[in-house]
Amino acid sequence: MEKKQFQAESKRLLEMMVHSIYSQKEIFLRELISNASDAIDKIYYKALTDDSISFNQDDYYIRIETDKDKRTLTVKDTGIGMTQEELEENLGTIAKSGSLSFKNEVEMQEGQEIIGQFGVGFYSSFMVADKVTVYTRSLHSERGFKWESNGEDGYTIESYDKQDIGTEIILQIKENAEEENYDEFLEQHRLTSIIKKYSDFIRYPIKMEVVEQKAKEDNPEELEDIIEDKTLNSMVPIWRKNKQELNDEDYESFYQEKHFGFDKPLSHLHTSVDGMVRFQSILYVPEQLPFNYYSQDFEKGLELYSNGVLIMEKCADLLPDHFSFVRGIVDSEDLSLNISREILQQDRQVKLIAKNIEKKIKNHLQSLLKNEREKYVQFFEAFGRQLKYGVYADFGTNKDKLKDLLLFYSSSEEKLVSLKEYVERMPEDQEHIYYATGESHDRIEKLPQTELVKEKGYEILYFTDEVDEFAIRMLINYDDKEFKNVSSGDLDLEDEETKKEAEKQKEEHKDLLAEMKEALGNKVKDVKLSTRLVTHPVCLSADGEVSIEMEKVLKQMPD
């Protein structure tokens, strides 16, 4: 028998978990069942694509057992199991997938309630158990292993003679403490309702022997205990269900079950397509920006199923970059199971699905903007920048698809407005769409260059995001109205008389201007008289294609 220590970060998480007084201990069961289901997915998929493994649908299930006297709760699965290496790798460290994000969240919120909001996998069992024992045998191993830990000082691993492939996890449920009741996790009713709540869509039967009191057949006055083997979950995947049968809560709990985010979904989109390509999908717009969203660590993608069996966890090809914030699943009966990553990229069906999905997301966002403005603004505040990048990075048709989804802060409305709204409000004599750039709305407000435009009664869009002006330059115009930076040289807002007067003045003050230019040296390109100032004495203005703000951004970029 070998005794090993947990990795440092696992240890810290374990401590927190055990000592945190948090209300949703019950999620440990969701975690164990999800793991069991993942493990069955893996063997199921293998069996379907590998003839040497015999295949029988009934062989795939999860079983829950309780023993009140021994205070044990067991979760058994007929999944792929773990080899010794896998045991150490997977249960000796915090789930790699979630660990990083978890750590960050923890540091932010000092980790009390948060554990309940999303799973932290296998380790959550230590919230309710003093000791966890895992018996497992891998499809790829001749023998089984026993892993055991009290969640505090490491774990042990030893060989164990296990007959069947699969995993059995036994929790030694804690004794009740002062304000903590753990007995509930040994009660069938309670377990049944936890499973219904979180794991109803698990695709394999979750079975449990349930004792029910029924009237005796020969004597209906008397009750007797009948033991029945029950399947507790409905198993129909949520995406196969009829939309009418589902409510927001169902979609929310699926989002959580899938660990799509630590937040709640802002909105969801459930579709079933039956045409050139057939697929079902549930897509979510998250409420909050994932902490790593604008970093290289972020991976976009949708979960891809072929007829109910998971074939890829993050299929990036299904989402364009400008919608990379979307999470969700796609299930298509037109995909073959043993499709490889490489083939998938070339696959015509996948391309068709991706195209269709892009259109659906766009329409969904558009309708949010139209019908649920507040939600849309919330969305845009989190992810709007990505849409603007999408416009900027585009050499094809994205910009036309995305331009109506953009919002900018407006000088006159003092809130985010769309380009369409701007154009519809334009006074008759206004030819261009005006914008001003700066660090903040306040700063822009004080720009001398905005004065004349405002005096004319024109609305100005305030660009505070670095990408704003770059994106707008890609668009060039909207509804045939050209975009104009209020700071650019040629605003052409003056009437003929003012222009003439300006020419005259320029002649008169020629020497003064030349002297000023000399004094400023190479800090400026030229010193000119301006007609656009109302109350300010001077302003800086950019000459040519690149504005002052853009120049700043470009200078920061690595070569």
Q: Could you list the residues that contact Mg ion (CB under 5 A)?
A: 35, 121
What 3-state class would DSSP assign to 532? coil
* Matching residue, tokens 């789930």: 95
Q: Chain-centre distance of CA 285, in angstroms?
A: 7
Given 48, 65, 98, 360, the residue binding ligand ADP (CB under 6 A)? 98
Task: Work out whether 232 is an interface residue with ligand ADP (CB under 6 A).
Answer: no
Of residues 38-77, those binding ligand ADP (CB under 6 A): 39, 77
Sheet of 278-286: strand order equals: 265-274, 278-286, 327-332, 302-306, 309-315
Alpha carbons 326 and 114: distance in angstroms, whole number? 23
* Minimum CB distance to ligand ADP smaller for 119 or for 448: 119
Smallest distance from ligand ADP to CB 114, Å: 16
* Minimum CB distance to Mg ion smaller for 96 or for 341: 96
Cα angle at 182 between 178 and 188, to 5 degrees? 150
Alpha carbons 538 and 448: distance in angstroms, whole number? 8
What residues are paired with 461 via a beta bridge?
410, 435
Task: Work out whether 92 is an interface residue with ligand ADP (CB under 6 A).
Answer: no
Alpha carbons 191 and 203: distance in angstroms, whole number? 18
257 binds, among Mg ion, ligand ADP, none (CB under 5 to 8 A by kind): none
111 binds, among ligand ADP, Mg ion, none (CB under 5 to 8 A by kind): none
36 binds, among ligand ADP, Mg ion, none (CB under 5 to 8 A by kind): ligand ADP
Task: Work out whether 82 is an interface residue with ligand ADP (CB under 6 A).
Answer: yes
How deeply is 387 buried, as exposed, middle or buried, from its count of CB atoms within 10 A (0-12, 13-18, 19+)?
buried
Smallest distance from Mg ion to CB 259, Å: 8
Smallest distance from ligand ADP to CB 548, Å: 48
User: In what helix (H) or strand (E) does residue 455 lie, and over which residues does it extend?
Assistant: helix 450-455
* Residue 262, φ and ψ in degrees, nearest 5: -90, -5
* Minimum CB distance to ligand ADP smaller for 165 or for 387: 165
Alpha carbons 398 and 378: distance in angstroms, whole number? 22
Q: Which residues of 102-130 are buried (b: 16+ CB within 10 A; e: fewer)?
A: beebbeeeebeebbbbbbbbbbbbbbbbb
Q: What type of residue is 85? A: E
* Matching residue, tokens 């993608």: 301
* Minimum CB distance to ligand ADP smaller for 77 or for 200: 77
Q: Tokens representing 201?
A: 């869509």
Task: Work out whether 79 is an interface residue with ligand ADP (CB under 6 A).
Answer: yes
Of residues 141-170, those binding ligand ADP (CB under 6 A): 167
Count the residues of the shown chain that bind ligand ADP, applying the rule CB under 6 A. 17
* Minimum CB distance to Mg ion smaller for 121 or for 438: 121
Pick the closest to residue 245 from 256, 231, 255, 234 (CA basis).
234
Report whether 318 contacts 355 (CB < 8 A). Answer: no
What 3-state class would DSSP assign to 335? coil
* Minimum CB distance to Mg ion smaller for 30 or for 388: 30
Tell me which stretch binds ligand ADP (CB under 6 A): 80-88, 147-155, 476-484, 523-531.
80-88
39 binds, among Mg ion, ligand ADP, none (CB under 5 to 8 A by kind): ligand ADP
Smallest distance from ligand ADP to CB 145, Å: 12
98 binds, among Mg ion, ligand ADP, none (CB under 5 to 8 A by kind): ligand ADP
Q: Tokens representing 491?
A: 């605003």
Smallest distance from ligand ADP to CB 215, Å: 39
Tell me which stretch binds ligand ADP (CB under 6 A): 94-102, 325-333, 334-342, 360-368.
94-102
* Minimum CB distance to ligand ADP smaller for 100 or for 426: 100
Smallest distance from ligand ADP to CB 6, Å: 12
* Residue 183, φ and ψ in degrees, nearest 5: -55, -30
Between the CA of residue 245 and those of 168, 195, 283, what are the distances in Å?
A: 34, 19, 17
Smallest distance from ligand ADP to CB 557, Å: 37
* Minimum CB distance to ligand ADP smaller for 66 or for 83: 83
* Minimum CB distance to ligand ADP smaller for 17 or for 444: 17
* Matching residue, tokens 């063997």: 43
Smallest distance from ligand ADP to CB 460, Å: 49
For the residues of 495-507, what is the DSSP string, one character each?
-HHHHHHHHHHHH
Task: Work out whether 358 is an interface residue with ligand ADP (CB under 6 A).
Answer: no
Question: How many other C-beta atoms can be found within 10 angstroms of the C-beta atom of residue 285?
Answer: 24
37 binds, among ligand ADP, Mg ion, none (CB under 5 to 8 A by kind): none
Given 33, 43, 95, 195, the residue binding ligand ADP (CB under 6 A)? 95
Q: Tokens representing 112?
A: 């009390």
Given 121, 286, 320, 328, the residue binding ligand ADP (CB under 6 A)? 121
Pick the closest to residue 46 from 165, 209, 210 (CA basis).
165
Alpha carbons 506 and 500: distance in angstroms, whole number? 10
Q: Tokens representing 532?
A: 């656009």
* Minimum CB distance to Mg ion smaller for 79 or for 121: 121
Tell me which stretch binds ligand ADP (CB under 6 A): 31-39, 197-205, 284-292, 447-455.
31-39
433 binds, among ligand ADP, Mg ion, none (CB under 5 to 8 A by kind): none
Task: Work out whether 90 is an interface residue with ligand ADP (CB under 6 A).
Answer: yes
Q: Tokens representing 482?
A: 């050209």
- Which residues of this chain interact with ligand ADP, rule CB under 6 A? 31, 35-36, 39, 77, 79-82, 90-91, 95, 97-98, 121-122, 167
